[in-house]
Amino acid sequence: MPVANRPHLLKHEGFRSRFLKDARDLIVYLPPGYDESGGRRYPVLYLQDGQNLFDGETAYVPGMDWHVGETADRWIESGEVEPLIIVGIYHAGPRRIEEYTPTRVRRLGGGKADVYGRMLIEEILPFIGMRYRTAGGPERTGLGGSSLGGLAAMYLGLRYAAVFGKLAVLSPSVWWGQREILRIVRKAPLEQRPKVWLDIGGEESARAVADVALLRDALLERGWAPGRDLHYAVVERAAHNEAAWGERVGDFLKFLFPARGPGL
């Protein structure tokens, strides 16, 4: 159903999975011109923590959302970002930690990212593909998130590199499981290498900044190249919050989904 006063947003409430017990909402951004573009098919970016992306009323901090819709509109209309569909996947509240982490940690739990990934691949992607004019292939499909959602994006992007060819990894929780994601990167099969936006806020903890630098180094060791398929940045004066991540939306869209030339 359409979201009031937001003509390019539609919401699917209570999406149910056979893999995970919690129903969740999906919110879908459609680019300018979608309704008039006939049979044109669009790349898709899937983002974790859908509550925080488009609406300040549902954001973790009331009034502090990422403003993804307004930002995407602006850069698409300027000709710098390719028109794309963006899907926000709401998290499961208290079970967010479980779903966004690849391993179980004593006292914290977790470890159901693989199950969450099955929901993404086997249920949400087909659901979106049946209802919207999506373009297939990893070069046209992205995954992203921040904090634990960024960790999930990095992990699942490697696990499903044949599906997700573009990753937006903002302030990822590299610390999880004694930096298990570093071991995962070093051992991952690399038949395909996703394009990765990786960043961290300069006002986040010194440990977080150092951890993300280690993740960058692990990617470089496996053949990622800055400017080609890796962008890494420490963002000055940026904290670990929705407002800071929202400031980076236009930048990662321009890196991952640059406007394509005529006829492409």
Name beta bridge partners: 44: 85, 141
Condensed to tens digits (0 to 9), the pLDDT of residues 174-204 reads 999 999 999 999 999 988 999 999 999 999 9
Among residues 150, 139, 227, 151, which one has the least CA distance to residue 184?
151
CA distance 52 to 148: 14
Helix axes 176-187, 148-159, angle to 10 degrees: 20
106 token code pair:
């004593």
Of 26, 53, 27, 31, which Cα lies nearest the Cα of 42? 31
Average pLDDT score, the chain: 94
Q: Check residue 261 and give its pLDDT.
A: 61
Question: What pLDDT is recorded for position 263?
Answer: 44
Beta bridge partners of 89: 26
Is residue 227 very low, low, confident or very high in pLDDT (cuts 50, 70, 90)? very high
Hey, where are the domains in the chain? 2-256
The b-or-e profile of 159-176 (16+ CB within 10 A means b, else e) is: bbbebbbbbbbbbbbbeb
Please give the share of the chain, as a percent, with pLDDT higher than 90.
86
Distance CA 246, CA 192 (A): 29
Give the per-residue pLDDT at 5. Answer: 47
Average of pLDDT values for 247-255? 98
Using the predicted structure, report yes or no on whether residue 238 has a pLDDT greater than 90. yes
Q: How many other CB atoms are there within 10 angstroms of residue 17's CB atom?
A: 18
Partners of 145 in beta bridges? 169
pLDDT digits (tens, 9 = 90+) for 117-173: 999 999 999 999 999 999 989 999 999 999 999 999 999 999 999 999 999 999 999
Is 16 buried (19+), middle (13-18) or exposed (0-12) by CB count in 10 A? exposed
Please name the fold of domain 2-256.
Rossmann fold (3.40.50)
Q: Is the pTM of this model over 0.85?
A: yes
CB atoms within 10 A of CB 156: 25
Predicted confidence band of residue 246 (pLDDT cuts 50, 70, 90): very high
Tell me the pLDDT tens digit for each residue of 11-47. Answer: 999 999 999 999 999 999 999 999 888 899 999 999 9
